[in-house]
Amino acid sequence: MTARIGVVTFPGSLDDRDTQRAIRLAGAEPVALWHKDKDLHQVDAVVLCGGFSYGDYLRAGAIARFSPVMETLIEQAKAGLPVLGICNGFQILTEAHLLPGTMLRNDHLHFICRDQKLRVENAETAWTTDYTAGQEIHIPLKNNDGQYVADAYTLDKLEAEGRVAFRYLDFNPNGSQRDIAGVTNEAGNVVGLMPHPEHAVEPLIGTGRTDGLPFFTSILKKLVNA
């Protein structure tokens, strides 16, 4: 049976179609989910895609966190459902307290769009097993509120538990503390990151590399072998 991976669309989502395409290229079936529908339609995993849900009013992801779909998603994520939050999706996961920390305006106060070098810090989550720890990859980045912050205790805890999933290399594009580009929850089923792996799955688009495809092949292998 083909694995089914849901992609949630909120008002202001921009990358839902790109994410669906990445899922299809990896060999899974993308399932479009609407933010007002509490039913996840029996998907095996969920991606919260990038964009500007609700125009980033109040804070990025703050309103989307209260969408009906999130009620079910939060419950199932806590029960083990694999969830990936990309950019705005990462912001929503922090607002929903499925991931620690929060996202602030970039420290230079400008929108940034660039190809970004990352180091894979944790290759044992549901979404990263097709990488190796220490691997360096290039993934497109585009955000206005990408500065990851948390108190010192939380940052130390994330470091000690190996829950920093990705770290910026060579250049910190938004002032994120400790160069953190992505984190995971304790169970490893929920991962969030600011760069956009769905834009790096084909050699003719994005970075011209396929460094983002392992996100989607990783979860596919986990679901098939579960």
Active site positions, annotated: 87, 196, 198
Which H or E run includes 64?
none
Closest CA to 131 of 141, 121, 144: 121
Alpha helices in the chain (DSSP H): 16-26, 68-78, 88-95, 152-160, 213-225
What is the distance between the alpha carbons of residues 183 and 37, in angstroms, rounded to a whole number?
Answer: 27
Contact 45, 82 (CB under 8 A): yes
End-to-end Cα, the chain, rounded Å: 12
Q: Which two tokens stand for residue 8?
A: 């949630």
Rg (the chain; Cα; Å) = 16
The phi-psi region of residue 219 (left if phi > 0; otherwise alpha if psi is between -120 and 50; otherwise beta) is alpha
